[in-house]
Structure 1
């Protein structure tokens, strides 16, 4: 990631290029696509009318190819992510990537890949996410990084343990860029706060999180999971033992979630309340948070909650129950590549006398399962790449991970493993929908 950012120079008069005009005429687009996308986006950011917002977004995804622009599809995808419809969100993002690539729109391609990076990262597909953000950085070669790509790259750098590089990348954003993209500005503030927190600057991180909260309130952004400053503030303060302050932000999150009752929103609220509680009450709240998040597409926060629950159980002396949840957190993290949560969970698991077990099919990420099902159905790697709008190399990478996780060596064994797991999927595996409308 650092290498990609280093190779991306600033735009100059000599390197600036005019994007090619789209070969598709405006008449080819559905006249209501923009209205549907805008309505879904407004409702989603406001944090109300989740069913209407989802219906509008799915209507955009149902439109024929070329009927919706890349920007329309990106707006729909963001709404679908916020309502926990990960499969349709990925379909919208795949189409947005393809649309921008066909038009030769490098800036649009960067935005689409950055958005798909976020969706894949959230679902636990770190390898697929990193592949997208590397391509996004390379697509920006010769021009200034877009704010969306810059923020996504900074997140990747933080995940790799390089918060100083992430902060430098974010600080390079210009005020006019932030003013022109208010929604992305909230994510920029969240990313900068995360980098500060990793550098042990708790007060600096908290200041940025509160600024994000103020800006969201002023802009009428009431969605609890779009840029969850309150959740980050709760976790940050709880780690410092400042539980009374943390509880206030957990309560704020609960207020926001009342208008947006998705599994992710409810799970984050329960987890936030759990980390500020103690004893058996903390265990009860975190256990419920884990059950709720297990039914959401948010694998990263599910793994974190399982770790926090294991830690809470250890504090109450129930080491046997703690091992179960620590093992789940370590397994999810190991299969997804999230080292920070995984290392903490493994250390506490070993201290509790436990060990990791063989991975199961339910730990496949959303994209890995899509690849696995297509391959098991007889599709070639090239066919899969065309269907998912990714490179054949990315398909090979996903398939390698699938084989490793399921301990199989061939496509025939893969099909058998998927059939065997279909009727015995672990409780809490993320819901999936088939078809564009779910």
Structure 2
């Protein structure tokens, strides 16, 4: 599905205040066409959890006025209606079964009146306009639908196709038929392993409706794990939750990991439970292995959310379960490594594993953290083309599921950001968002990246980022202050950006452990670090952040010796985005000191680098600044306080009294008035002013005032 088409529809839904996850919109477009009015009308009829992708869409979709009016004049014979209805109810679009159902040849069918409503090509048959399928099922009586299902059941029995036969028998039956359920569960498992999680959920849920006791529990298990594999967190929580406390222990243990994933996404964290209550009773290795996998999921989920205490507890449970099943090397070791890495631990032992999660994704993150982002991307690419398709003990049976695919896509986008390919990262995120539940991995990291990438490229949030944000469950609401700061900074509203960043710092500077570049430019820092938090990023990302901190935090006197070192270190940065931002800050600092030539050169270099990175909004902001240097015009409106930026910068360089004296001097007050205002002697004012001159490397009151207004112009 093209992201451009989805964005057009999303814009209409956002206009109508209908939050809808991008991949849900893509599914609606497939079923309804890209008509924004029809999609919006259907979205209005859906539950919030369905629009957010937390529960599957209803089948069939509700009939809405635009679709009803579209086919209001369609007059069908009983035979043609039944054939079209059969085409809308079968599990696939093979032409053969439809020809047998109708009785006419493909040629005669295409020449008949019904032919214009069908697409017959290369052995396939489908309804040309998917909205017709919705209209057909909504306007057909229940008895007519059952009759078509019964005919299809008999047809597939005669063809010896048990899967389709069981499905249509289940849909035609008005009473429970346990014989049908076993076949549907078997097929649902096969679909899960093939990555067809949505189809697997539908089959298993149908099986659960036709069974009781242990058979029903087995069907619920398959349906529940397929639901979370598809990203349906609400459906998974409800389905798997139904297994507790009465289902067989082994069934409960197999469903526990999926239940943890669902609840963590919906509630913001793994439920606090006594492991002794849930772990197996007895020595059955199969039960202990199922327990170990559930503990593995819980540990990684805790790590994603920064819950190190919970992570340690679940890792202990993982070790206990693995020891009882000899699964230390295949399950315990790679999961322990993954959990600690996600939690922010850079010290890790080398562990070799296979599959998409504890294999490709873990190794890719490690390669990037060790400084080789390109190798990390190559590792992901090998897995994407199937060359590394192996069983992953952590997610065995779900290697091809949408949820695992979302983890891989989010990891790839993160590595592209770390490499500085901002434009490419945004396009990859847009494509992933319309296909996969990208809000689930790493506690909403995909949403953070989608927002930050839109701001870097567009300067504002696009429809995909807005939709992803709105579709997040409340406990996973991400901190938006940094995004507001970035948007304000790029629009030239530095004071607003600084305020947002100060509020963010006051809240403890929350950010993902897997670092997504924020905004160091708007905050003046002291002590060489903005916060103390375990974070994971490549060495180059760390260096770029350190350089930006050095540029903003050192005094004018220190900058004289620091500048050549910072310039030399910036040249070692290979990421055009990281270096571009550092070069921009060097240029700004040069302009403040009055070195217009150096400032212009660094800003021009920054613009070129940011354009190369695809960070168009950042590049435009630098272009505006360069234009102001050339024209000498102030970039902001006359209503803006020209000394606001100066206050922000000097507060970290001067003592409180020195700062008061400096600002009063800049405002034009003589020493005697300053002394009176501060209730000190004129001599004390002169002493403080002398210290200000020394720290800011100026010699006169005029030079101090000029410096203050330069800061206001360029910061």
- Judge conservation of contact 1:45–1:223 (CA < 8 Å) in 2: yes
Q: Judging changes above 3 Å, is the alpha-carbon distance between structure 1 residues 115 and 334 closer, same or farther for their aligned structure 2 residues?
A: farther
- Judge conservation of contact 1:77–1:90 (CA < 8 Å) in 2: yes
Match for residue 207 of structure 1 among 378, 383, 396: 378
Match for residue 366 of structure 2 among 189, 195, 203: 195
Give the Cα separation in 1 of the matches to 2:375 and 2:465. Answer: 31
- Judge conservation of contact 2:296–2:318 (CA < 8 Å) in 1: yes
Matches within 5 A, 1:247-286: 247-257=426-436, 260=437, 270-278=447-455, 281-285=458-462
Q: Judging changes above 3 Å, is the alpha-carbon distance between structure 1 residues 123 and 255 closer, same or farther for their aligned structure 2 residues?
A: same
Match for residue 85 of structure 1 among 241, 266, 288: 266
Matches within 5 A, 1:37-52: 37-47=221-231, 52=235
For 1:6-26, what per-residue CA distance to the aligned partner results, in whole angstroms no more than 9, with x for missing partners? Answer: xxxxxxxxxxxxxxxxxxxxx
Give the Cα separation in 1 of the matches to 2:435 and 2:388. Answer: 11
Which structure has the greater CA radius of gyration? 2
1:114 aligned onto 2:305: no
- Judge conservation of contact 1:189–1:212 (CA < 8 Å) in 2: yes
Give the Cα separation in 2 of the matches to 1:225 and 1:150. Answer: 20
Task: Specify the alignment match of 2:340 in structure 1.
Answer: 157
- Judge conservation of contact 2:300–2:339 (CA < 8 Å) in 1: no
- Judge conservation of contact 2:438–2:446 (CA < 8 Å) in 1: no
Task: Specify the alignment match of 1:239 in structure 2.
Answer: 418
Give the Cα separation in 2 of the matches to 1:34 and 1:288. Answer: 39
Match for residue 351 of structure 1 among 514, 524, 529: 524
Deviation of 1:238 (Å): 2.6
- Judge conservation of contact 2:460–2:487 (CA < 8 Å) in 1: yes
1:33 aligned onto 2:208: no
Task: Specify the alignment match of 1:369 in structure 2.
Answer: none
User: TM-score, normalised on structure 1?
Assistant: 0.53
Q: Judging changes above 3 Å, is the alpha-carbon distance between structure 1 residues 264 and 110 closer, same or farther for their aligned structure 2 residues?
A: closer
Q: Judging changes above 3 Å, is the alpha-carbon distance between structure 1 residues 298 and 145 closer, same or farther for their aligned structure 2 residues?
A: farther
Q: Judging changes above 3 Å, is the alpha-carbon distance between structure 1 residues 341 and 234 closer, same or farther for their aligned structure 2 residues?
A: closer
Unmatched 5+ stretches in structure 1: 1-28, 358-438
Deviation of 1:54 (Å): 4.5
- Judge conservation of contact 2:413–2:425 (CA < 8 Å) in 1: yes
For 1:129-180, what per-residue CA distance to the aligned partner results, in whole angstroms no more than 9, with x for missing partners? Answer: 23322453466469452544333321343256655625x12x2x3xxxx4xx
Higher relative contact order (CA 8 A, sep 6+): 1
Deviation of 1:202 (Å): 1.0
Unmatched 5+ stretches in structure 2: 1-212, 390-397, 532-715
User: TM-score, normalised on structure 2?
Assistant: 0.35
Match for residue 128 of structure 1 among 296, 310, 319: 310
Task: Specify the alignment match of 1:322 in structure 2.
Answer: 497
- Judge conservation of contact 1:136–1:149 (CA < 8 Å) in 2: yes
Give the Cα separation in 2 of the matches to 1:71 and 1:122. Answer: 22
- Judge conservation of contact 2:454–2:461 (CA < 8 Å) in 1: no
Give the Cα separation in 1 of the matches to 2:525 and 2:321. Answer: 47
Q: Judging changes above 3 Å, is the alpha-carbon distance between structure 1 residues 346 and 118 closer, same or farther for their aligned structure 2 residues?
A: same
Q: Judging changes above 3 Å, is the alpha-carbon distance between structure 1 residues 345 and 51 closer, same or farther for their aligned structure 2 residues?
A: closer
Give the Cα separation in 1 of the matches to 2:317 and 2:443. Answer: 34
Q: Judging changes above 3 Å, is the alpha-carbon distance between structure 1 residues 191 and 327 closer, same or farther for their aligned structure 2 residues?
A: farther
Matches within 5 A, 1:321-400: 321-323=496-498, 325-326=500-501, 330=505, 350-351=523-524
Give the Cα separation in 1 of the matches to 2:438 and 2:275. Answer: 27
Give the Cα separation in 1 of the matches to 2:508 and 2:442. Answer: 21
Give the Cα separation in 1 of the matches to 2:249 and 2:320. Answer: 25
Give the Cα separation in 2 of the matches to 1:265 and 1:116. Answer: 13
Q: Which moved more, 1:274-283 or 1:236-245?
A: 274-283
Task: Specify the alignment match of 1:420 in structure 2.
Answer: none
Task: Specify the alignment match of 1:229 in structure 2.
Answer: 408
Q: Judging changes above 3 Å, is the alpha-carbon distance between structure 1 residues 186 and 52 closer, same or farther for their aligned structure 2 residues?
A: same
Match for residue 242 of structure 2 among 46, 59, 75: 59
Give the Cα separation in 2 of the matches to 1:232 and 1:154. Answer: 16
For 1:336-371, what per-residue CA distance to the aligned partner results, in whole angstroms no more than 9, with x for missing partners? Answer: 9x77759x8796674279x999xxxxxxxxxxxxxx
Matches within 5 A, 1:174-185: 178=354, 185=356
Task: Specify the alignment match of 1:103 in structure 2.
Answer: 282
User: What is the RMSD computed on CA atoms of the aligned residues?
Assistant: 4.8
Deviation of 1:36 (Å): 0.9
- Judge conservation of contact 2:253–2:290 (CA < 8 Å) in 1: yes
